[in-house]
Amino acid sequence: MSEQDKILNEVTQNEYKYGFTTDIETDTLPKGLNEDIVRKISELKGEPEFMLEFRLDAYRKWKEMEMPEWAYLKIPPIDYQDIIYYAAPKQQAKYESMDEVDPELLETFNKLGIPLEEQKHLAGVAVDAVMDSVSVKTTFKDTLAEKGIIFCSFSEAVQEHPDLIQKYLGSVVPTNDNYFAALNSAVFSDGSFVYIPKGVRCPMELSTYFRINAANTGQFERTLIVADDDSYVSYLEGCTAPMRDENQLHAAIVEIVTMDRAEVKYSTVQNWYPGDKNGVGGIYNFVTKRGICKGESSKISWTQVETGSAITWKYPSCILMGNNSSSEFYSVAVTNNHQQADTGTKMIHIGKNTKSLIISKGISAGKSENAYRGLVKVVPKAENARNFSQCDSLLLGDTCGAHTFPYIEVGNKSSVVEHEATTSKIGEDQIFYCNQRGISTEDAIGMIVNGYAREVLNQLPMEFAVEAQKLLQISLEGSVG
């Protein structure tokens, strides 16, 4: 191992900072999955009949399905009967005021940098905090309600806006879409719901913060965002989990619907516990995220910074149905130590004059494997579709892997689809150049990697971008060659 590799190793072997656990009483259902558990979840949440039917239908489909094996991932067998499908902090009911929230819970979110007291929070960001299977608190609901914006936990939405839920739930990701989507549809416990009415520009960033706390528990959340004609919203999602030796399953679904001329910007900073440096523990992050540009000239953009999880399987996608609709996918995926990621996007062009842009930056270090997998599909009637894809991979050291799997299916001659890909190694000469200006190797790596990911980081809202930059550096502490 060269000197540089050694330094890289040291830099990338940093501790995970959100690995603490909260000592709080939890109500859990017994381990395992069967129809009774599904019924029980629905019952605990006091759901209407249509929800139970949705869940049971999904469960029955899931039972017939098999885990997908096409990804460039080595996934150890998962015993789905050894997982707890529902865990909720006790005595939660509904908090009328902050005084009723368990101080331990408040403290947890404070430690994560997500204060739930509105006055303490960054002006301009409303938060829905989800711990394990339930939403703990949603801030700024009243302020938003004045504009007719609905921002609440999924459970609450099922109670208070069943018509909207029934109309849109599963409309973008059908229950049988894939194995993990079916599983989520059967057992999902909470998440966030957003509805932006016609002509409304959401005055603040909306965000959901997901936290896994309970052991042996899977997290299955569901997010649904509906943006009506001429509306706009920017939505952020963050996530962390305690350090545990066993792997924990996280299988979420995000659905986005945009109507005529509506725009949704969805940003994620995914920082689930990645496991230790020997690859023990960590979250399995198997997520289905998809949007549909239903209306004409509507737009959905996905920005993701993926640094956590032991295994990531995730392809935020967009169906470009409305004429002149457009979608963007910006991604930075960092893998280190024994992490594995198979991530990318699907852009399905259906409407006329639809446009999509894909910018993916993979960064691999340690013994990790990092794959980009993307599909650009242009159906025969999609006149004048345009796509530009750029997939770059950066390797730190020589024990990691970077892979690119682009799939292009073009059924219309008037379309233009472009794909560019590069693979580079962080240069010793770049590091030396920084060293010679008095910048340490660790700082140099952070700087070079952030520079490499700049195009994507620039898409993030300010507070998130700063966080993400730090995170990139920390995730890579201990890694260059």
Question: Closest separation between CB of residue 440 and other proteins, Å?
Answer: 5
Binding-site member from 216, 427, 466, 470 for other proteins (CB under 8 A): 427
Strand, coil or helix: 428 = helix
Q: Residues 205-244 vs other proteins: string with x where CB under 8 A?
A: ----------------------------------------
CB of 361 to other proteins, least distance (A): 10
Tokens of 293: 């540009």
- Alpha-carbon gap, residue 146 to 438, rounded angstroms: 54
Q: Residue 432 CB, nearest distance to other proteins (Å)? A: 5
3-state percent breakdown (helix, strand, coil) of the chain, nearest 5: 25, 35, 40
CB-based contacts of 238, cutoff 8 Å, min separation 6: 114, 207, 208, 209, 210, 268, 269, 271
Q: Which is nearer to other proteins, 275 or 362 (CB)?
A: 362
DSSP-derived 3-state class of residue 429: helix
In degrees and rounded to multiples of 5, residue 108 shows phi and psi of -55, -50
Residue 428 found at the interface with other proteins (CB under 8 A):
yes
Handedness of CA 228, 229, 235, 237 (dihedral sign): positive
Within 10 angstroms of residue 30's Cβ, the number of other Cβ atoms is: 10
Tell the smallest beta-carbon distance from residue 446 to other proteins (Å).
10
Say whether residue 422 binds other proteins (CB under 8 A): no
Beta-bridge partner residues of 198: none
Question: Is position 399 an interface residue for other proteins (rule: CB under 8 A)?
Answer: no
Task: Closer to other proteins by CB, 3 or 15: give it.
Answer: 3
* Tokens 């057992």, residue located: 187
Q: Which is nearer to other proteins, 178 or 441 (CB)?
A: 441
Of 296, 443, 463, 467, the one binding other proteins (CB under 8 A) is: 443
Paired strand residues for 326: 299, 355
Residue choice 106, 447, 463, 467 for contact with other proteins (CB under 8 A)? 447
- Residue 58 or 365: the one with the smaller Cβ distance to other proteins is 365
Of 18-26, 155-163, 258-266, 426-434, the segment contacting other proteins by CB under 8 A is 426-434
Q: In this structure, what DSSP letter does residue 281 have?
A: S
453 binding other proteins? (CB under 8 A): yes
Only one of the segments 16-24, 275-283, 286-294, 452-460 lies at the binding site for other proteins (rule: CB under 8 A); that segment is 452-460
* Helix/strand/coil for 262: coil
Nearer of residues 57 and 443 to other proteins, judged by Cβ: 443
Nearer to other proteins, 216 or 435 (CB): 435
Q: Does 357 bind other proteins (CB under 8 A)?
A: no
Is residue 438 a contact residue for other proteins (CB under 8 A)?
Answer: yes
**Strand extents, DSSP E, 317-354:** 317-320, 326-335, 340-349
Least separation, in Å, of the C-beta of 459 and other proteins?
14
Number of residues that bind other proteins (CB under 8 A): 26
**Residue 448 interacting with other proteins (CB under 8 A):** yes
DSSP 323: T
The rounded distance, in Å, linking the Cα atoms of 153 and 148 is 16
- Selected from 201, 407, 435, 470, the binder of other proteins by CB under 8 A is 435
Q: CA 22, 26, 30, 36 torsion: positive or negative?
A: negative
Cβ–Cβ < 8 Å for 384, 413 = no
Question: Of 107 and 428, which CB lies nearer to other proteins in the complex structure?
Answer: 428
Is position 434 an interface residue for other proteins (rule: CB under 8 A)?
yes
452 sits near other proteins (criterion: CB under 8 A): yes
Residue 95's φ and ψ, nearest 5 degrees, are: -90, 120
Q: How far apart, in whole angstroms, are the C-alpha atoms of residue 365 and residue 401?
A: 8
Interface with other proteins by CB under 8 A: which range of 68-76, 83-91, 277-285, 446-454?
446-454
User: Scanning residues 1 to 40, which ones bind other proteins (CB under 8 A)?
Assistant: 2-4
Regarding 423 and contact with other proteins (CB under 8 A), the answer is no
**Half-sphere CA count of 200, side-chain side, radius 13 A:** 20
When asked if residue 451 is in the footprint of other proteins (CB under 8 A), the reply is yes
- The piece of 12-20, 139-147, 309-317, 445-453 that touches other proteins (CB under 8 A) is 445-453
Please report whether residue 455 would count as binding other proteins according to CB under 8 A: yes
Question: Contact at 8 Å (CB) between 157 and 193?
Answer: yes
One-character DSSP codes across 169-214: TTSSS-TTSSHHHHHHHHH--EEEEEEE-TT-B-SSEEEEEEE--S
- Chain residues that interact with other proteins, rule: CB under 8 A: 2-4, 427-430, 432-441, 443, 447-448, 450-455
